[in-house]
A and B are shown apart, each in its own frame.
Chain A
Amino acid sequence: MATTQPTITSSTRGKLFVRPTWTTGIGSWLTTVDHKRLGILYMLTSFTFMAAAATEAFIMRLQLLTPNMSVVNPEQFNQLFTMHGVTMVFLSIMPLGIGIANYFVPLQIGARDLAFPRLNAFGYWVYLFGGLMIYSSWFLGGAPDMGWVAYAPLTSLSHNPGLNVDFYMFGLFISGVGTTATAMNLIVTMVNMRAPGMTMMRMPVFAWMMLITSFMIIFAFPPLTIAFLEIILDRTFGTLFFVQEAGALPILWQHLFWIFGHPEVYIIILPAFGVISEIIPTFSRKPIFGYPIMILSGILIGFMGFAVWTHHMFTTGLGPVVNTAFSLTSFIIGIPTGVKIFNWLGTLWGGSIRFTTSLLYALAFLVTFTLGGITGIMVAMPTFDAQVHDTYFVVAHFHYVMGGGALLAFFGALYYWFPKITGKMMDEKLGKVAWVFTVIGFHLIFFPQHLAGLMGMPRRIQTYPEGIGLELVNMLSTIGSWVMGVGLILIFYGVIHALVRGKPAGKDPWDARTLEWTTESPPAYYGFKTQPVVNSLDAFWAEKYPESMHVTPPDPAEGRAYDAAGVHIPGQSWFPILGALALAVGCYGLMYDNMVLAVICGLSFIFTIFAWAFEGVGGTHLHFDVAEEHV
C-alpha cells in the first residue's frame, strides 16, 4: 500500500519559548509527548534498571554460594538486596507494565495518544530522575541498606545517620508522583477515548487490567507517599513520627507501607495477567475464555488487594482475631486468581496452539504462577507463616509470583510486541534457546529456596552457618543464577540481533486479534490512519474473520467521518522534563541541607507548572486524503 503524506496545519505557537518541533535527534526525545516514544523510553529504562538489579542479584548469589564467603561484607550485602528489591519493584517491573501500557493501551482502544500527553512525559521523566537519584547513592556515600520495605526504626537518624535513607525516600517519593500522574492519565484515556463502538465490555483484557491497575495505583500510592513524607520530615526537619525515644510506635510504618505494598503486588501482576490474556488467545486462535469472568476477577483482585495487607505482618503480634481475618481475605483473593488460571487453560483448550517463544513464556508463566499461588495460600496461614515469614521460603514465594509470574509474562510481551514496536521479527530459534535457559535457571534458583527457608534460613543474611543442611540448596540456587544469567544475556543478544538483521515484520505477523495490529510496524507517529470503529470483542480478528465471530465488519467510511476536522497531534514541550528536573534537583537540595537550592528548585517547579498550563496543547492537525482507501 502506498503511504500518502498527510497535509499538516500548524496551530498555536508557544507563548514563552518557541515550541520544539524536532522529529529526530536527541531533542525530539527529550521533548516528546508521543505515547509510543514514551513507551519505548519507559521500556528501555526499566530494562536497564533490571540489568542493574540482576547484577546485584548475581553478586548476592555468589556471596551465598557456600557458608562464610566474603565476596562482600555485611554492609555491602545489605545495600545489594535493598537496591535489588527497590529496583525490581519500583524501577523495573512496575514501570515496565506502565511502559507497555503507554505504548499499547491507546493503540488497543483505537486512540491516538493518552489524554494528557505532556503529563505522560512528566510521569516518565520523574520516574527516570527518581531512579537515577536512588542509584546516585552508590557514588555518594553508599546505597540504602534497610531493605526495600525500610522498616522503622531502621530509617531513623539515630540508627541510620547516612544519606542512603534519604536517597531512598526522596527518589521513591518523586517517582511515586509520576506513577500516580500516569495512572490518572491512563484512566482518563480509557474512560474517554475508546474508539467508537468499543464499549467497556469490548475493551481488550490488557487494557482492562491496566485500568484496574491504574485505579489501584491511585488508591495505593497516597499512604506510601505519606509514609515517605513522615520519614523525610523526621530526618530533614526533626519531627518525631518514628522516633522511638519519643514514644513512637514503629509498627505504624509497617501498616502504611503494606497498605501500599500489597496492592503494589497486584499493580505489578495485573498488567502481566493482561499480557498473558493477549498472548494466549492470539497463539491459540481463540477468544479469551470467559471474558466477563476475566474482567470481574480482575476487579475483585483490585478490591480485595486492599484488604490483605496485614498478612505481611502476621508475626508482629496483632493477635488471633486480626490474623484470622486477614488470613481469610488472603485465601479469598486466591479464588479470582485461580479462576484466571483456569480461564487461560480454557482458552488453550480447543484452540490451535502455535508454539512461539512468546507462547512458551506464557506457558512458563502459568506453571510458575500456579506454584507461586500454592505457596501463597501456604504463607496466608498465620501459624505456618510464623515459621516461614522472613525466610527464604517467602523469598522463593514472591519470586515465583513476581519474577516467574510478572517477569516471564513481560518477556513473553517482549517477543510478542517487539515486531510491532520495531518492525523487525525476533529470531524464534534463539528465543527458544534463551527461554530454556531462563526458565530452567529460574526454577533452579528459586525452587531450592523453599527448602532453605523451611530448613531455617532467614532472608537478608549475608552468610549462613555450616552444618545445618543449607549448603546444597544454596549451591543449587547460585548455579541456577548462572544458568538464568545465560538466558538473560541470550534474550539481550536476541534483541540486538533482531534490530540489526531481523526480518521485516509486516503489520500483523501473529494473525492477532486486537487493534494495535492494524497499524504499520512500527506505527506512524499519528497511530491510525483512519479512526477505527469497533462492533465486537477482538475487533481486528472480527474484521479479518467476520463469519467466525458472527459479526459484520463496520464500514471504514464511518471512521473517516470522525477525522473530518483532522487528526490532532499535540505539540512537543520542554516543560515536563524541566519540571521533573526541578523536582529532582530540589530533592538533592533538601538532602544536603542546601535550602537555597531547594527553594530555587521549588519555585522553578511552580513556575514550570504555570508555564506548562499557559503554553496550551499546541500541536498540529493532519488531514489525510479522504479519497484514499484504507486497507
Chain B
Amino acid sequence: MPMRWLRRGLPVAFLAPLLASCSLQGEQSTFSPIGSIAQDQLDLFMWTWYLSIPVMVGVFGALIYAVFKFRRRKDDKLPVQSHGNPIVELILVIVPVIIIVLVAIPTIRSVFRTQSHVVATADDVVVNVVGHQWWWSFEYPELGITTANELHIPAGKRVILHLNSADVVHAFWAPRLAGKVDLIPNQDNQLWFDTNEDSVGIYSGQCAELCLGAHAYMRFRVVVSEQSDYEAWVAKFQKPAIQTVASDPLVTQGRQLVAAKGCIGCHNIGNYTEGMRYGQPLYPDLTNFGLRNTVGAGVLDATPENVAAWIADPQSVKPGNRMPTLWEANDPNRDQETAAIAAFLLSLGVNDSNQALARASSGGN
C-alpha cells in the first residue's frame, strides 16, 4: 500500500518543476512574461511553489511513514487511546503561521506595487478599452484614434488602460504582459503595465470572463513596436487614406461592394468618403484594416483567404458572433465578391496594394 502512495506522491512533487523548466513556455503562457507586472506575478508564484515543496514533503512524508509504520499487524494490539499532545499541537499551529507570514510579505508588496491606481504622465500611453460581445474597442483619447481587437503600443513605455464594458462583464487578459482586470458596466477600472525596450513582438490575449455566445473567440493581440514604428502607425490612423490602385480592379470592386452590401452600415472605415463617419461605435472600426494581423477578434490570421472566408460565413469561423451572413451558400457570386471585399479591406492603410497583398499572404508581420 505505501508503495502506491509513493508512486502517486513523487510525480506530483517532481514532475511539475520539471515541466515548468522546459515546456510551459508559450504564446499565451504566464511562464513567458515580457513586462515587469507579469514577471512580478510569476515570481510570486515561483516563491510559493518553492515554499510548498517542503510542505508537501513534510505532510506526504509523514503520511507515508505513518501509514507504513502503523499499519495493522497480525498481533493487533489495541493502540494507546491518546487524545492529543498540547506541545505537538502548538508546534503544528506555529508552523503554518510561519509559512503564511513568508507568503504574506511578498504578496502585500506586490499588491501595492502592481495594483495601486496610477496617474498618467505625459510619457504614458493611455487607452480606453471597451469590451463588446465579442470584440474589443481600443480608443486612444489623446491621439483621437480608434481601432479594434489590436492594441498597438510602443516598447519600453508604461501603458494605462481604462476598462469599461458596453454590455456584460468581460476581462482583459494578455498573460505575458499582465494579469487580468475585469471590464464591468458602469464602472471604471484601470490596468497598467510596462514593457522593456526589447519586447517588440505580437502577444495574444483573450477575454477571461464568461460573456456567452462567442466568448471563446473573443481574442485580441497586443502589438509592441519600436517607438518610430508606433509613431508611423499612429500617423496612418490620424490621416487614414483610401487607395484604390487602378491596376487592381478587385480592390475597386471591393470598395463598391462595401457600400452596396451594407458593410458601412455597421463598420466605420476612416475616410471612406472624405470627412464622413460611417457605422456605429457598437461594431468594430475597420479603419486601416490592412495593418491588422488578425480578423474576427483574433480568431484567424488576416490573409486574403481567411478574410474572405470570414466575410462569406462568419458563423462557421466564429460561432455565436453577431455579424450577419450576407450571401446564400449557393450564391454564384459569393466567392468572387468576398475576395474583392477582402482585397479592398486588406489594402486599407497599406501604401500600395501589392505590398498589402504581399504582407497579408505572408501571414502577418
Contact = CB atoms under 8 A, between A and B. Distances in A.
Interface of A: 73-75, 78, 145-147, 151, 153-154, 159-160, 244, 247-251, 284-287, 289-293, 315-317, 319-320, 323-324, 327-328, 331-332, 334-335, 338-339, 341-343, 345-346, 348-355, 363, 366-367, 370-371, 374, 377-378, 381-391, 439-440, 443, 447, 450-451, 454-456, 458-465, 467-469, 537, 545, 548-549
Contact of A319 (B63, B96, B117, B207): B117
Contacts of A291: 83-84
Query: Nearest 7 CB-CB pairs, A to B?
Result: A386-B179, A456-B28, A461-B216, A317-B189, A469-B26, A290-B84, A338-B96
A162 to B, nearest CB: 11
Interface in B67-126: 67, 70-73, 76-85, 88-89, 92-93, 95-97, 100, 103-104, 107-108, 110-112, 114-117
Contact of A545 (B26, B78, B175): B78
A367 B66 contact: no
Interface string B201-225: 0001011111111111001000000
A446 to B, nearest CB: 11
A608 to B, nearest CB: 39
A412 B73 CA distance: 23
Interface stretch (B53-61, B148-156, B239-247, B331-339): B53-61
A146 B8 contact: no
Nearest to A248: B186
Interface residues of B, number: 99
A335 B83 contact: no
Given A293-B84, A316-B182, A316-B184, A78 B31 contact: no
Contacts of A284: 70, 79
A387 B66 contact: no
B209 A370 contact: no
Interface string B6-44: 001100100010010001111111110000001011101
B28 to A, nearest CB: 3
By secondary structure, the B interface counts as mixed
A382 B211 CA distance: 23
A348 B66 contact: yes
B24 A454 contact: yes
Interface stretch (B163-171, B259-267, B347-355): B163-171
B319 to A, nearest CB: 5
Contacts of A247: 186
A383 B107 contact: yes
10 contacts: A159-B212, A331-B103, A345-B63, A349-B66, A367-B9, A371-B56, A389-B180, A440-B8, A451-B24, A455-B31
Contacts of A389: 171, 179-180, 208
Contact of B219 (A78, A315, A454, A465): A465
Interface of B: 1, 5, 8-9, 12, 16, 19, 23-31, 38, 40-42, 44-45, 48-49, 52, 55-56, 59-60, 62-63, 66-67, 70-73, 76-85, 88-89, 92-93, 95-97, 100, 103-104, 107-108, 110-112, 114-117, 163, 167-169, 171, 173, 175, 178-182, 184-187, 189-190, 204, 206-216, 219, 319-320
Given A346-B84, A381-B44, A249 B28 contact: no
Identify the interface centre among A390, A455, A549: most chain B CB within 10 Å of its CB.
A455
A355 B71 contact: yes
Contacts, number: 303
Contacts of B114: 383, 386
Given A386-B180, A447-B12, A154 B168 contact: yes
Given A317-B181, A383-B110, A467-B27, A286 B320 contact: no
Contact of A382 (B115, B167, B209, B215): B115
Contacts of A354: 72
A363 B79 contact: no
A335 B208 contact: no
Nearest to A335: B96
B189 A377 contact: no
Contacts of A454: 24, 29-31, 45
A153 B182 contact: no
Contacts of A244: 185-186
Contact of A384 (B26, B41, B319): B41
A386 B78 CA distance: 52
A305 to B, nearest CB: 17
Given A73-B320, A370-B60, A451-B16, 11 more contacts: A78-B212, A78-B215, A146-B210, A146-B212, A250-B185, A287-B83, A319-B116, A327-B111, A343-B89, A363-B63, A455-B30
B351 to A, nearest CB: 31
A315 B179 CA distance: 8
Contacts of A151: 168-169, 209-210
Contact of B108 (A324, A353, A545): A324
B184 A250 contact: yes
A352 B63 contact: no
B82 A350 contact: yes
Contact of A250 (B108, B117, B169, B190): B169
Given A346-B88, A363-B5, A458-B173, A386 B81 contact: no
Contacts of A349: 62, 66, 70
Contacts of A159: 167-168, 212
Contacts of B28: 455-456, 465, 468
